[in-house]
Amino acid sequence: MFTLLYPGQGSQQPGMGKFLFDNFPIAKQTFEEASDALSLDIKKLCFEGSVADLALTENTQPALLATSTATQRVLRSQFGVKMNFAAGHSIGEYAALVSTGSIAFAPAMRAVRTRGQAMQAAVPVGQGGMVAVMGLDPAQVEQLCQYVVSKSGFSPLSPANYNSPGQIVISGSQKAIDWMKDNAKAEDIWPGGAAPRLKMIPLQVSAPFHCAMMMPAENRMREVLTSMDFKDGDVPVIQNLDAQAHTAASELRENLIRQVSGPVRWMQSMETLKRAGGTVCIESGAGKVLQGLLKKIDSEAFQVLNTNSLEDLEMIEKIAKTKS
């Protein structure tokens, strides 16, 4: 039994999923279904789209969902993969719910297209931003955000992605971020002791995701997801919002809605997964971002397999046979 992990924004890359489309009828069917759902050529976007095309949030999110769903369908139908847990990073959570039968694929495709558009439209360009804070633990990052809001008078500013130990992304007002870069000093925030070194890396993003500035997008997604049919999942999904495992339709829906403006608790989610024994994982989709994060979270506990080539899938098939 495997945990299937679904990557989020930042994992997209030109050509993603093409080897699946070329080799497996079920993947071809999945990309066709995705294109039909949106009246948009998702194949062309994923296989031929430029880096810039794929970086547009309204394109990124459906492209990732289509690729991740094609991947998990191939894994399960062609390579004997059985799943006991699922989790997705931000937009990846939609792929997790599709894979557990909680939501249908075509409505999910339409929902993530709307989600991308709503998140892009929620904040005027230049008014918000995101910064990776390196070397601090979660409590220290939360203290940093509280200090900046209190001293600068600008808000919001809060943790957006608890990615791995020492790599937490914060999100919010660009004015607060600018004040922080110019004025925040570790010795002022943590006086009287060994102050941690503040290292901040601005991220090239189109909007301040996963913070209170996303409430207009969250409200739009509440409308969309309330009108969608949700079922109880057949496998637990460890959700971003609370880092807990859920199967009940009502909980899955509400947590999916609230994660638009809530932080992605990935590090905490993986600790939950480790306690549950779901440490043999497959990154079901493009890239190796989640594998990299899990190496930082606990390289000894987790084994993460990738799905970027036929050779990767053949390796998974060999391991699946030993677990059957």
Q: Which residues are catalytic?
A: 90, 210
Among 93, 74, 87, 98, smallest CA distance to 309 is for 74
Alpha-carbon gap, residue 174 to 125, rounded angstroms: 10
Q: Bridge partners of 195?
A: none
Q: What is the dihedral of CA 245, 248, 251, 256, to 10 degrees?
A: 80
Query: Does residue 135 contact residue 199 with C-beta atoms inside 8 Å?
Result: yes
Alpha-carbon gap, residue 130 to 287, rounded angstroms: 22
Query: Does residue 211 contact residue 155 with C-beta atoms inside 8 Å?
Result: no
Judging by DSSP bridges, how do beta strands 83-88 and 2-6 pair with one another? parallel
- Cα angle value 17/21/22 (rounded, 5°): 115
Alpha-carbon gap, residue 131 to 295, rounded angstroms: 22
Identify the helix (H) or strand (E) that includes residue 202.
strand 199-202
Query: Does residue 257 contact residue 242 with C-beta atoms inside 8 Å?
Result: no
